[in-house]
Structure 1
Amino acid sequence: MLREEHKQFLQSLQQRQEVQAVLVLPDHVKVPPFYERAGYLVVVNGAQNQAGVRQVITEEKVIWEQKVSAWELEKGLVQGLDEKLVTWLQRGEVLWDKDDFIYRLRQRLSKLPESLQKRMLFKEYSRLLHAFQETRDYLQEGMVLDAYHALLKALYVWAKWIVFRAGEQPESALWTQVKNLDPSVYKLYEELTLNHEELEKRIELILLPMDFFLSSRLKESVRYLLEVMETRTSPWKLHELAEHTAIGESGIELSLLIEKMVQRSLVCETICMNTDDQQSREIGYIPSK
């Protein structure tokens, strides 16, 4: 149903041929930057660079318009959607929807594809490992505030891992999701941010269960990487893995992750002869049998 005070704006959208669907957020759902004023998600057909935010004044009222292309949403279902867009799609009120595009999108969004789930578990685990190591390094150097910032980042990534493992897409209100899915991790977040104990002590206490998680969930989380490595029998050099299309686009730092996989005997190190320079040798990696 059209909002009466925004009728002129919405009617102008309906007249635009490229508009595929329009959604509005209920008043109780807030997504940045749409806090104080009404916000609309406008899905358009066209090139991938259609995304953008603009402010529109109509009848002396200011409206936020968030535009996104249908192509970008389709891509997100395969590669992962931004948390704010997930909130729009799952909680927004559909004002109109050509060819049931949003209806079909929501059906697909309700079930996370296994291929995307494996990829995102791998991505978030590798980010968590990096943030965990960064936190420990800062702490050892006595840089407590930097360690706190890194640990907050680590907890946020851990929370996303939990949501993906549950077969859901992370929303902008991420900790509300995690409170229902894994109260113990939510409790750790509360301990870090709300507890009045000495900050360094809080950080040290949270690193312990995080370290256990990283060890116990390694094999499950790197299944995506192992499947890539199993596509050939010859060893993989580190730069080859980093440049692989299935991995490179994620911007993952592999060195720390591979090192942990070697320690846990998930992959084996071997020596590769450099064909350009017979005197130069490079370490390669193959999945363990």
Structure 2
Amino acid sequence: MEDILRPLFEQCASKSTTLGIIMIEKEDRLLTAMDMFDVIVIVVEIWQDKPEVIKHYSFREKKIAFYFIDERRLQEWVLLGSQPKMINMLREGHILFDRDRFLENLRDELWSPITKKQKLTIGLEFAELIRKFTEGKVFFKKEQFFHAYYYAVYALYHLGKMAMIESGLMPDSAVWRQIKQIEPEILKLYEELVLGNESIDKRLELLYLASEFLIYSKTPVGTEHLLEIMQEKPLWRFEEIAHHPQTKHYGTNLSILLDYLIERSFIVPIQVETSLKGIYERCYQTG
């Protein structure tokens, strides 16, 4: 297939804006979820007018997809872990063109021990976990058990993704199959919630009891990124945390995460006087 597509590869590689080209064929296990195409080619470019362009080709009975991806968009995916299937293809696909080792350097970063980017990805998953877990318990206390069940399932999903990233893996659509090898305790919680014989309210009650300590044990690694940023100075206003270049990705989860960390003494709220009598601004420092 590489020889057949060579004219297209060479056409892309001849452009000064092309940083790298990588190919995945359907026989590769990575394409099991993309079986509408026989071949996928990723072309990474710099300063494209459009962030992503997709072109479809055919050769005899083969269907081929070319993804033209802006380098900035790709770096964002790597930073946030928001496109795990694409990232796995970048990690394991066949490199056809690589200007100045752009793709090789990216792979080195993806395969390295936990980096600052991975700490952020873990932090974002932990923040989602805390949000889903907290909101689920609110619904549980209101006896809205089906809503609580929904949030509990997704809380465990984010807990599993977090454990996988911590282990150096990139989660894909088969998270539960992967997590079985890494942290079977999380899979057991999921199976008891989904497949248990008890009533839905009893299953939820057992889940909250069993997962409380497990989530707490994940707090240091789950908040390492945020707490490292907050150690840069002694006191933070909320807006300073929310708009910091390294923490802005937490979005609406930030408030709930801060409250969780205050309850567990990782962060301390500080009252700061304002110009208005009796009104204080709530600021934060690490515990």
TM-score greater than 0.5 by the shorter chain: yes
Structure 1: gaps of 5 or more residues: none
Q: Look up the SS of the partner of 1:136 in the other structure.
A: helix
Q: Secondary structure at 1:151's aligned position in 2?
A: helix
Distance 1:267 1:127 in 2: 18
Residue pair 1:21, 1:97 contacting (<8 A) in 2 also: yes
Deviation per residue, 1:61-118 (Å, 9 max, x gap): 43333332344334444454521112212343x1623345434432321114432233
Q: How does 1:145-156 map to 2 (within 5 A)?
A: 145-156=146-157
- Judge conservation of contact 1:242–1:252 (CA < 8 Å) in 2: no
Q: Give, as a single letter, the amino acid of the residue that structure 1 aligns with 2:90.
A: L
Q: Is 2:22 the counterpart of 1:50?
A: no
* In 1, Cα distance between equivalents of 2:131 and 2:284: 20
Q: Provide the residue aligned with 1:223 in structure 2.
A: 224
1:261-280 to structure 2, matched below 5 A, reads 261-275=261-275, 277-278=276-277, 280=279
Q: Go from structure 1 to structure 2 and tell me whether the alpha carbon gap of 1:216 and 1:44 turns closer, same or farther (over 3 Å shift).
A: closer
Task: Please name the residue that 1:11 is paired with.
Answer: 7
SS at the partner of 1:283?
A: strand
| Partner of residue 247, structure 1 | 247
State the SS of the aligned residue for 2:22: strand
Q: Quick one: which amino acid aligns to residue 231 of structure 1?
A: E
Does 168-177 or 24-33 show the bigger shift?
24-33
Q: Which structure 2 residues correspond to residues 50-129 of structure 1 after superposition, within 5 A? A: 50-59=51-60, 61-80=62-81, 82-92=83-93, 94=94, 96-99=96-99, 100-129=101-130
1:152 aligned partner, one-letter code: V
Cross-structure match for 2:285: 286
Shift of 1:166: 1.7
Aligned AA (1:206): L
Q: 177-186 or 65-74: which moved more?
A: 65-74
Cα distance, 1:183 vs structure 2: 1.3
Structure 1 CA distance for aligned equivalents of residues 261 and 193 of structure 2: 29
Correspondence for 1:173: 174
Moved more, 35-44 or 177-186: 35-44
Deviation sequence 1:155-207 (CA, Å, 0-9, x none)? 11101110122233333432232121111112222333344543333332222
Structure 2-normalised TM-score?
A: 0.83
Does the C-alpha gap of structure 1 residues 203 and 11 become closer, same or farther in structure 2, counting only changes over 3 Å? farther
Which segments of 5 or more consecutive residues in structure 2 lack a partner in the other structure? Answer: none
- Aligned Cα RMSD in Å? 2.8
Aligned equivalent of 1:21: 21
4+ long deviations beyond 6 Å: none
- Contact 2:273/2:280 (8 A) holds in 1: yes
Q: What's the TM-score, normalizing by structure 1?
A: 0.83
Q: Tell me how far apart the structure 1 counterparts of residues 106 and 221 of structure 2 sit (CA, whole Å).
A: 28
- Answer yes or no: is the 8 Å Cα contact 2:163–2:183 preserved in 1: yes
CA distance in 1, matches of 2:209, 2:221: 20
The alignment covers a number of residue pairs equal to: 281
Deviations 1:204-253 (A, max 9, x none): 222223211222332342232222222223x3232332222221133252
Between the aligned partners of 2:256 and 2:168, the Cα distance in structure 1 is 27
Quick one: distance in 1 between partners of 2:32 and 2:47? 24
User: Equivalents in 2 of 1:151, 1:35: separation in Å?
Assistant: 31
Tell me the residue number matched to 1:237. 237
Deviation readout 1:250-275 (Å, 9 max, x if unpaired)? 32522222222222222222211224
| Partners of 1:39 and 1:66 within 8 A in 2 | no
CA 1:157 to 1:244, structure 2 compared with 1: closer, same or farther past 3 Å? same
Moved more, 73-82 or 161-170: 73-82
Q: Which residue of 2 aligns with 1:137?
A: 138
- Supply the distance in 2 between the matched residues of 1:97 and 1:196 (Cα, whole angstroms): 54
Give secondary structure in 2 for the equivalent of 1:132.
helix
